[in-house]
Amino acid sequence: MNLDDVLTPSGLTAVLHGSGALTAGAVVQVRMCDERSTWAQLTRIEVSYDADAAGERPTHLLLKRCRGEVAATPSEVEYYMRDYVGVADVPQPRCYAAHYDAQACEYWILLRDLSRTHCDGWAGQPGMGYGFGLADALATLHAPHFGAVPDDPARDLARFFDHVGRGLQPLLDACGAELTPHQRERLRRLFDLHPQQMLQRVRERAGFTLIHGDVNPGNVLRPRSGRGRLLLIDRQPFAWSLTRWLGASDLSTAMVHWWPTSLRRACETPMLRRYHRALLRRGVQGYDFAQLYADYVACIPLSVYVAVEWCSAPQDVERMRWLWSTQLQRALRALEDAA
* Residues of the chain under the 50 pLDDT cut: none
The Cα 97–Cα 1 span in angstroms is 10
- Residue 157's pLDDT is what? 96
- The pLDDT > 70 percentage for the chain reads 100
- Residue 93's pLDDT is what? 97
Domains of the chain: 3-112 (3.30.200), 125-338 (3.90.1200.10)
Entry pTM: 0.95
- Residue 209's pLDDT is what? 98
Give how far the C-alpha of residue 261 lies from the chain's centroid of Cα atoms, to the nearest Å: 21
Give ∠ CA 212-175-258 in degrees, rounded to 5: 30
158, with CB counted inside 10 A (0-12, 13-18, 19+), is middle
The Cα 156–Cα 68 span in angstroms is 21
Give ∠ CA 289-293-296 in degrees, rounded to 5: 140
pLDDT tens-digit profile of 193-250? 999 999 999 999 999 999 999 999 999 999 999 889 999 999 999 999 999 999 999 9
- Residue 44's pLDDT is what? 96
- Residue 227's pLDDT is what? 87
Q: What DSSP string describes 226-253? A: S-S--EE------TTS--EEETHHHHHH
Phi/psi class of residue 144: alpha, beta or left (left: φ > 0; alpha: ψ in -120 to 50)? alpha
Tell me, what DSSP letter sits at residue 50?
-
- Residue 339's pLDDT is what? 83
- Residue 81's pLDDT is what? 97
- Residue 39's pLDDT is what? 79
